Structure 1
Amino acid sequence: MRAQDSATAARTIAVTATGDSGTDHGIRAGSAPTAGIRTGDVTARSATLATDTTGPIDTTDTAGPAGAVNPTDAADATGSRPDPLPRGTLLAGLGVVAFSLTFPSTVWGLESFGPWSLVAVRSTLAALVAGAFLLVGRVPLPERRHWAGLAVVAGGVVIGFPLLTTLALQTSTTSHAAVVVGLLPLTTAAFAAVRTGRRPSRTFWFAAVSGAVVVIVFTLQQSGGAVSRGDLYLFGALLVCAAGYTEGGRLARLMPGWQVIGWALILCLPLMAAGSAVALTVEPVRLNAHGVIGLAWVAVGSTFFGLYVWYRGMAAIGIPKASQLQLAQPLLTLFWSVFLLGETLPLAAPIAAVAVLVCIAVTQRAKS
């Protein structure tokens, strides 16, 4: 009896153990019904877990290179995904704030460096910062099909815009140079419509054109409206920057924004490093606090951080809508000019600010 009881107990323990494991191994102990129930429970629980943890799939990231992530955050464990619109608007807005400090910082930088030296050194420093991030993150090289777009970004926002605006600021005030920023949102939206094939609504275009007109009239009225060589530099900067913004915004949907500007900077590093060596020997250098701070900001703040959050914001809310946030940039630049450079704030600034903010609100709500 003891031997039979022991054998029965052993079989009971085996059936219980294998049944709790939730596998089909319980069939071997003659407990097929129990094992089947356990297996079904696990299957149901697995299906429920998969439903709970799988968020909506973003197909915009499937064409990206290995290791690329979508500009918006991944879904969390509950399957919820934050609305990209407020976050994208915030990121693009931070980019606008960073860009609004570019002209005053460039004026400070010109106290210590010549125009060619300032542009070459700022790009070299920004490329070194970007390269450090890329190395630490072990980011693989972009796919071959992305290099042409990165070259457009490099030529537009790394070389073209900084060089042309720096040359313009030698003879133009910061308020006059803000004219190019007043036209930039409209030009970027036009470039994006041609490049991506997306056609914003009539309401969007009406608000965008209205905002551009307000900014142009305001800035030209304050600067006297005279056309000079500096204006030609500014108009050239407008075109190349709009192209760089559009292409960068498109690439930021395929790879993180900081990688877009990072690889564009790395692409320019050999040229900018050689340019720095030549320009620093030709142009005089008179270091002071303003010059060093101005150089540091245009290199790290405007060129790297500003473009990083800007491209990420454009990827989230779209190039046309993000571009219209820049309608506020000339007014922010005027504020920094008063605060940092001691310029007098025009009385028309509050009126223009309200009008521009209304136009921005319309473009953000319009179908794009």
Structure 2
Amino acid sequence: MGTLSLRAINRATLARQHLLARTDMPMTRMIEHLVGMQAQAPFPPYTGLWTRLTDFQPGTLADALVERQVVRIVLMRGTVHLVTATDACFLRPLIQPLLDRDLRTNQQHAPHLTDLDLTKLADAARHALANRPLTAKELGTALAEQWPDRAPAALAHAARGLLPLVQVPPRAVWGHSGHTKYHTAEHWLGRDLDKSPDPKQMALRYLAAFGPASVADLQTWAGLTRLREVTDTLDLRTYTTEDGRELLDLPDAPRPDENTPAPVRFLPEFDNLTLAHADRTRILTEEHRKRLFGVKNGVFPGTFLVDGFVRGSWRITKQRTSAVLTITPWARTTKKDQTALTTEGARLLDFHVPAAEPKDVRIEP
């Protein structure tokens, strides 16, 4: 057992997230390596892939969605994730206990589901979706024909928790817009969910993408409990943090020197790097965590990394043919940092709005 400094933990995590250096890994392999990408907003994963891959083009992900190689589905923490078709079938059954708990405890919807035959509801929802994808409103209305005394929104919410519902294109296809419509994963992907997915593999893959990490970190990422029972069966290395917390890790995972340079990187809204640990000090100071998680309506801004840590937010504003990237530092930035932010920011603008003219990068004082 050894001790890892905060910077050593930071660099190890960045290495596994491919944020120390971009990689030419195929896009679907990256999505699989990250065990999915947070995607409750439709387009942040495009930026998340751009910041990790050497030559990512948005059409690659758009095509993969249309061709059903990847899908958007409720998974970890009960939030929408972009995953490969294979991982949708692997992860969705493992997350079911979280969704079952939500059906019992959700303050908005659970009161409308009391004494409801959920098996019958699931069958009715599957039947309603048999012929075509439906919006949540359409699905709720269809189910309310059978349960007219129940709130349609609650019935649709229950269906999403009981069945593996994917959000189908054109939603989240680059350059397109569309209402959120649902279909069952089995129908959309033409395959069944895994009958006995191994939670050990989920834990190992989490460490490969987000480690070294504690059991609490793993549980926060997944939204599940009692995962110590899983990690205790694995062959893992154990480390301690400088404040005495236990971290687990794969024996052969990369752990770069803490002084390894970390370039400026722009992260999209809701990137899992900022959400996938109980203790987020590896990437955020406590002051910056409060600022990020204190945003109104739970809408996280895009953030940027300087020397491996979140140091502020960014937004792109479009007006007719022009576009402006506004960078808002949350801490002092040196002239060298500002130059790096401007250079990388110009690349980000070119990715998002290649045809815009003029384009400008502004750093707020």
Q: Same fold (TM over 0.5)?
A: no
| TM-score normalised by length of structure 2 | 0.22
| TM-score normalised by length of structure 1 | 0.21
Considering only CA atoms, is the larger Rg found in Structure 1 or Structure 2? 1
Bigger strand share: 2
